Amino acid sequence: MFAPSGPLVFGLDDTVERRRGAKIKAKGIYRDPVRSSKSHFVKTSGLRWLFLLAKRHLTGRSRCLMLLVPIPWASRVWALPVLTALAPSERYNQEHSQRHKKLTDWARLMLLVVGRWLPDRQIIVVADSAYSVIEWLWASRQFRTPVTVITRLRLDAALFTPAPARQPGQRGRNRVIGSRLPSLASLLKAPNLVWKRVSVTNWYGQGEREVEVASSTAVWYHGGKPPVPIRWVLIRDPWGRFETQALLSTDPNLSPKQVLEWFIQRWCLEMVFPQMTN
């Protein structure tokens, strides 16, 4: 109804609702993303959920998949919850002799469900750094209809050129990567790095904002893990109001501006969590 055509953009994120009660069984101890910071770690107790369709009152930590769509009668993009799954802690699974699934495992299963619901639609997922995991990014591209993931990228990530074509008479197995590329952290200091100024229409609810971006394609690889072709995007503020950061897209054909505009729609998720838990 709200997205009859074009790509479907989903947001994946979590929140913590601190509740107590005798009937809350799969409770665990998790990091509180609201009260914690880079230098201060705060724990909280509750349930952890991954959800796509919110049909009931949620308790504890919620992991959510929401559809991000522009609503005709609103001035901004809204996040509409569409699927939910309970993701117990590893300790709880061990105590109940259950196989533990990581959050990325639950996210992969949720996207498989969405892919079955909408086999003919392009699916885009924006997520935080918790989903900047090579195995999960690679798995999202192996679906019958590949899912494009946009998330953060470490500045020290190991990037490579694509594997060269196999030569006639070449022995041994095929190469999976090419030569090593400079890290993004070192590129920030390169004087020849080309920056392009772009205008973003809705910068975290603050209206139009100009930022500078630099982008290229590469293969993200770590020993023993599958190679993932990506487009990386460096973002910096011309006025120095925020630290330079990096994003990645598992679709190398996306433009840097499109990657940035889709990623900042994650801001809508934080506006939805208080309404869902009240």
% of the chain at pLDDT higher than 90: 35
Q: Mean pLDDT check: name the lowest of 36-50, 59-73, 209-223, 228-242.
A: 59-73
Specify the pTM: 0.82
Closest by alpha carbon to 7, among 121, 116, 145, 125?
A: 121
Q: With helix as H, strand as E and coil as C, how does the chain read?
A: CCCCCCCEEEEEEEEECCCCCCCCCCCEEEECCCCCCCCCCCEEEECEEEEECCCCCCCCEEEEEEEEEECCCCCCEEEEEEEEEECCCHHHHHHCCCCCCCHHHHHHHHHHHHHHHCCCCCEEEEECHHHCCHHHHHHHCCCCCCEEEEEECCCCCCEECCCCCCCCCCCCCCCCCCCECCCHHHHCCCCCCCCEEEEECCCCCCCCEEEEEEEEEEEECCCCCCCEEEEEEEEECCCCCCCCEEEEECCCCCCHHHHHHHHHHHHHHHHHHHHHCC
Q: What is the mean pLDDT of the chain?
A: 81
Give the residue-averaged pLDDT of 176-203.
92
Q: Mean pLDDT check: name the lowest of 62-76, 182-196, 199-213.
A: 62-76
pLDDT at site 49: 54
pLDDT score of 250 more than 90: yes
**Tens-place pLDDT, residues 32-71:** 665 666 677 777 766 665 544 322 333 334 456 778 877 6
236: left (phi over 0), alpha (psi -120 to 50) or beta: beta
Token pair in block for residue 146? 């590949």
Contacts of 88 (CB under 8 A, 6+ apart): 26, 28, 48, 98
**Tens-place pLDDT, residues 134-149:** 999 999 999 988 899 9
CB atoms within 10 A of CB 187: 18
pLDDT score of 274 more than 60: no
Give strand pairing partners of 219.
Answer: 160, 229
HSE-CB for 80 with a 13 A CA cutoff: 13
Contacts of 258 (CB under 8 A, 6+ apart): none
CB-based contact 82:67 (threshold 8 Å) = yes
pLDDT score of 181 more than 80: yes
Domains and CATH numbers, the chain: 8-276 (3.90.350)
Give the residue-averaged pLDDT of 209-232.
95
